[in-house]
Structure 1
Amino acid sequence: MNELIEYFVKNYPFLWGYMLDHLEIVGLATITAILIGVPIGIYLTTNKYLAGTILQLASVFMTIPSIALFGVMIPVLSVINQGVGFLPAFLALVLYSQLPIIRNTYTGIQNVDPQLRDAANGLGMTTLQRLWKVEIPNAMPLIMAGVRTATVLNIGIGAIAAFIGAGGLGVVIYQGIVRANTTMVLAGAISVAVVAILADFILKLIQKKLTPKGAN
């Protein structure tokens, strides 16, 4: 334990830098996944046949081991000289984020009380107005739950991205494995866990802020 604390004290600047790199790739990937997944989830509420297909496809990506997906992307992206580094890791994280975001958005919109929709229609709201002012606010708890799941998932998978040169806290774990240094491995793993816990806590606060009073 003393060695671990000493490592954190001595290497704080390096760990901080790796953490910022980690947050950058995870943050960009998660934001991109939200911009893609939420509209898809909303659209699928109008096409239940397509919804089953899309959700199954997103589930397939979740079953692929991350290191295998990285391995597949290396030769594909090598065509544009981006086989390793940021791009393959970014694309992989976006793909892994899709299932929880699409599924929760779809489920959240579907579960909005029909009486609320009827009331919105009675007030003369257009479909877009009803979606923006009624359906999305009431579906927000489920949507944000999906975002939280995707974010925590990406933080963990992002550590593996260090094996393809994407940087982040996974570098500490990787170097610890190469050097057979248990302290480095633990330091990297603990750092990833702390980032995941803090990110989930912050997103939970955002979820409460965005959720209308009375919405479950």
Structure 2
Amino acid sequence: MNGNPFLDALVWLGDPSRWSGPAGVPVRTLEHLGYTALGVLIAALIAVPIGLYVGHTGRFKGLTVAVAGAARALPTLGLVTLFALLVGIGLTAPMLSFVILAIPSLLAGAYSAVESVDPATVDAARAQGMTERQILTRVEIPLGLPLLIGGVRGATMQVVATAMLAAYVGSGGLGRFIFQGLGSQNYPQMIAGSLLVIVLALVLDLSLLLLQRLTAPRGTAA
């Protein structure tokens, strides 16, 4: 050890033994990605249809905003602990927490995407005889897609940053390095685990930002 925890963390990451085996960095990274993707997917199946309905009809917007705001205020660690007490150790408890954490961003992104479309464009679509479903799927969603992806981006960043808590209740992911380091007072390992989470979050954020810009209608900015 060099006496500098950050340099020691880099040494830890440079050890080839950390990059192989069932507990190596690649496997833990894939687990972390899997938790993040599953949490965001389940949340999207719940929040996106509701957000699109609210944005298209204008109904229940106040209630939706209030619920989303309340969900943002919930402490993730507290939720993980509560669900672990209710359903036991495993992946279910943190996954429920990730879903709740992801819903507000997805909900806001969905209804903002629809609301952002110029009302004149929607009126023109109705004048051409398009049904409400066609207006939503062929006009509002395509034009508002960058904002919808922005909601996915926000939800992904929140979940990937807290997916380490899966290790708190016995699951895998990059959080295993952090909690194992905490238990053994191996601070370089804790820092290395944190750096891996940060790098993964940056890669996902930049990828979704690029997708957001690529889906922007021509002549506008995502």
TM-score (norm 1): 0.91
Match of 1:176 among 161, 181, 185: 181
- Tell me which residue corresponds to 1:80: none
Match of 2:79 among 55, 65, 69: 69
- Tell me which residue corresponds to 1:12: 19
1:122 is the counterpart of 2:127 = yes
Q: Unaligned stretches of 5+ in structure 1?
A: 78-82
- Tell me which residue corresponds to 1:206: 211
Offset at residue 54 of structure 1 (A): 2.6
Q: Is the Cα contact below 8 Å between 1:138 and 1:215 reproduced in 2?
A: no
Q: Is the Cα contact below 8 Å between 1:30 and 1:94 reproduced in 2?
A: yes
Per-residue CA deviation, residues 39-94 of structure 1 (Å, 9 max, x unaligned), is: 010111355452222321222222121111011112322xxxxx221111111111
Amino acid corresponding to residue 199 of structure 1 in structure 2? L
Q: Percent of aligned positions with the same letter in both sequences?
A: 31
Amino acid corresponding to residue 99 of structure 2 in structure 1? V
**Structure 1 stretches of 4+ moved >6 Å:** none
Q: Unaligned stretches of 5+ in structure 2?
A: 1-5
Q: Is the Cα contact below 8 Å between 2:178 and 2:194 reproduced in 1?
A: yes
C-alpha distance in structure 1 between counterparts of 2:202 and 2:14, whole Å: 21
Distance 1:75 1:2, change over 3 A: closer
CA RMSD in angstroms, aligned pairs only: 1.6
TM-score (norm 2): 0.88
- Tell me which residue corresponds to 1:25: 35
C-alpha distance in structure 2 between counterparts of 1:170 and 1:62, whole Å: 22
- Tell me which residue corresponds to 2:165: 160
C-alpha distance in structure 2 between counterparts of 1:131 and 1:61, whole Å: 27
How many residues in Structure 1 have an aligned counterpart in Structure 2?
211
